[in-house]
Amino acid sequence: MDIKFINRSTNKVEIERPPGEGLLKFLYHNAVGKGAILPIVKRKFVSEWYGRWMDRPASRKKIASFVNSLNIDMSEYQKSIHEFESFNDFFYRKLKPGSRTIEKGLVSPGDGKLLAFKKVSDANSFFVKGKEFTLRRFIKDDDTADKYRDSSMVILRLAPNDYHRYHFPYDGIPSKSERINGIYYSVSPISVSEMFTEVFYENKREICRLKTQEKGEMLLVPVGATMVGSIHSTYKPDAPVKKGDEMGYFAFGGSSIVMLFKPDSFKLDKDLLENTKNKLETAVKMGEKIASD
C-alpha cells in the first residue's frame, strides 16, 4: 500500500516513503511476520534496547545517510549534522528560533500528517471496518471518556523523519501527565490500516489536561510507538504556558499526538475535514493553524 497524503501548501496528493517500509509491510501484512516476528518487535524491551543503542556515540554514523535519504532540511535546526552526540540527539533536535510561525487560533502541536474529526465517532468511518474506536479503551477513565464522548478529535502522526518535539497548541495551564503503560505497535498507516484499535488501545501514552481561560479543557495525548522507548515531557505542570511553548519530545521512531476538545470551542479547518473524509492525511507544521477559535 502507498501512504498518500495532501501537501497543504500545494493541495496536491503526495506519497510518503517511510524508513523500513518493506519491514513494516512484512510485520503487519504478512502472515509469518504478523504471527511470529511482530509479537517480539512490539514488546517494550525491544524498543528500550534499541533506544539505548541510539544514545551511543557510535550511532552518529547513521545520521548523514538518514538525512540524505529523507531529504531533511537541516537549515531549520540549531545543530549541523556533525554536532550531534548520538542519533537520538539528532532525532529530537531543536529548531532554530523563528523556524516556525505560531499562527492564530488552535495550532498543530508538531510537524506531521494530520487527521481531523468533528466528532470522535467519525473516526470509525476512516479506519478498518469493524474496528470501532472508543474513548473508554483509549483513555482508560470512564468519567473522562463520558466528558469527551462528543468531542472533536485530531490525530497528528509523526514519521521518523519529522521534527520530534511537540508543543502546546493553545495558551493554558497543563496538568501533570497521567501515564498509561503499554507496548509498541508502529503508528505508520501501514500498521494502522490493519491494527487501528490495537495501536491506540495498547501503545504507551500520556494524558495531559490543558485548561484554557476561554475554551475550557482539552486533552493532549502523546502516543509512543515502535522503537520509541519513552515519551519525555519537558514542561512544568500547573504553570501557565503559551501557545508554541515546548511540551516534550519523543526518542527514535514514529509516534502520534491525539487532541480532544469540545466541538463548540474550536472550528476545525474545512480542508482538514475534507481531506480526512477522503481518507487522506494532511501534512502540517508545528504552529500552523488547524482550527479557528
The contacts of residue 26 (CB under 8 Å, 6+ apart) are 32, 33, 37
| Residue in 59, 152, 233, 255 annotated catalytic | 255
* Residue 269: DSSP 8-state: -
Q: How far is CA 54 from the centre of its chain?
A: 20
With 0-12 CB in 10 A as exposed, 13-18 as middle and 19+ as buried, what is 213? exposed
* Best CA proximity match to 163, nearest among 59, 90, 260: 90
What is the rounded CA–CA span in Å between residue 15 and residue 4?
5
| Residue in 47, 164, 167, 177 annotated catalytic | 167
119-154 core/surface letters (b: 16 or more CB in 10 A; e: else): ebebbbebbeeeeebebeebbeeeebbebbeebbbb
| Residue in 59, 86, 111, 162 annotated catalytic | 111
Annotated catalytic residue 167: yes
Cell numbers found for residue 286: 508545528
User: DSSP readout, 114-137?
Assistant: EEEESSGGGGGGTS-TT----HHH
What is the rounded CA–CA span in Å between residue 289 and residue 242?
15
Annotated catalytic residue 230: no
Q: Where are the alpha helices (DSSP H) in 186-225?
A: 189-202
Annotated catalytic residue 255: yes
The contacts of residue 14 (CB under 8 Å, 6+ apart) are 4, 5, 6, 7, 283
Residues known to be catalytic: 111, 167, 255
